[in-house]
Structure 1
Amino acid sequence: MRTINPWINFNGNAEEAFTFYKSVFGGEFTKIIRFKDLSSDEFPVEEKEANKIMTIALPIGKHNVLIANDVPEFMGRVNENENRSKIAVSAESRDEAAHLFNGLSAGGNIEGPIGDSPWGTYAGMFRDKYGIEWIVEFDPNYKEQV
């Protein structure tokens, strides 16, 4: 396993929050994907959701990344008084991702089955039997930064 990184959900203000985090931690965003960047016939995006953040990533230190997204309105609002985050695990292979996904999700609720994603990774999402939310992902284009 390469890393485990926190992933936070926001109600439309992920970019504002991450601009603040960047002002505190320093560094540069390594990824900003808006919902409009993924819009297609298979994945239509409403105009009001287009500029919201699908994924934003900010490296923290040498091996950690803080990641977030805006939750689209059709999924409901994030209850800010409850769990607002997922634990994102970056696996070193498809096999490792499948093993971690299948093991951790046993007895839980799968929100997104493991498989090829529209953004080129192999990923899945679930809430484990203890109520903790996870995303397991393998990115074949990941380049280790030294």
Structure 2
Amino acid sequence: MQAITTYFNFMGNTEEALNFYKTIFGGEITALSRFSDMPGSEKMPAHERNKIMHMSLTTQSGAVLMATDFLESMEQRLAVGNNIHLVINTDSEKELEQLFDILSAGGKVEMPVNKTFWGAYFAMCEDRFGIKWMLNYNYPQNS
């Protein structure tokens, strides 16, 4: 396992929130993708395409804060308990699968293990204690 990172969910103000945290913790925005960058985004409601699909702030101390905007069209609602996930970055697909099987047992699978369009192996679940997890393995980049 490489690291455990926080992942916040917001209702349309992700960019504002992470820029606010940047003023507090320093660092730089290291990733920013909008839903309009996603394949099939032309089928989304126009008012949601500019919302944040993924954004990362790497602080001066090296901590990483990540976030996304929930989408009303997907019936996503912000509530205490679903506003944060813990992200585990793994060293292999196998490690991800093992951790996912253990964490999701007795809980709820939110997104099954799958290869993604952004070049990762990824899954989401809620464990039996109500903690939400994202598991991610980034495939090596061809140089």
TM-score of the superposed pair, with normalisation by structure 1: 0.88
Which amino acid in 1 is paired with 2:106? G
Matches within 5 A, 1:1-146: 1-40=1-40, 44-73=43-72, 74-79=74-79, 82-83=80-81, 84-141=83-140
RMSD in angstroms over aligned alpha carbons? Answer: 1.7
CA distance in 2 between counterparts of 1:61 and 1:93 reads: 28
Shift of 1:14: 0.4
Distance 1:70 1:33, change over 3 A: same
Q: 8 Å contact 1:39–1:45 — kept in the other structure?
A: no
Q: Residue 58 of structure 1 aligns to which amino acid in structure 2?
A: L
For structure 2, the residue ranges without an aligned partner over 5 or more in a row are none
* Secondary structure at the counterpart of residue 28 of structure 2: coil
Specify whether residues 98 and 44 from structure 1 end up closer, same or farther in structure 2 by C-alpha distance, changes over 3 A only: farther
Q: Which runs of 4+ in 1 moved over 6 A?
A: none
Whether the 8 Å contact between 1:29 and 1:59 is mirrored in structure 2 is: yes
Is 2:122–2:137's contact at 8 Å kept on the other side of the alignment? yes
Structure 1 residues 44 and 94, CA gap change in structure 2 (3 angstroms): farther
How far apart, CA to CA, are the structure 1 residues paired with 2:37 and 2:95? 28
- What is the deviation of 1:62? 4.7
Aligned residues: percent identity?
37
Unaligned runs of 5+ in 1: none
1:138, CA displacement in angstroms? Answer: 0.3
Task: Give TM-score, length-normalised by structure 2.
Answer: 0.90
- CA gap of 1:32–1:95, structure 2 versus 1, over 3 A, is same
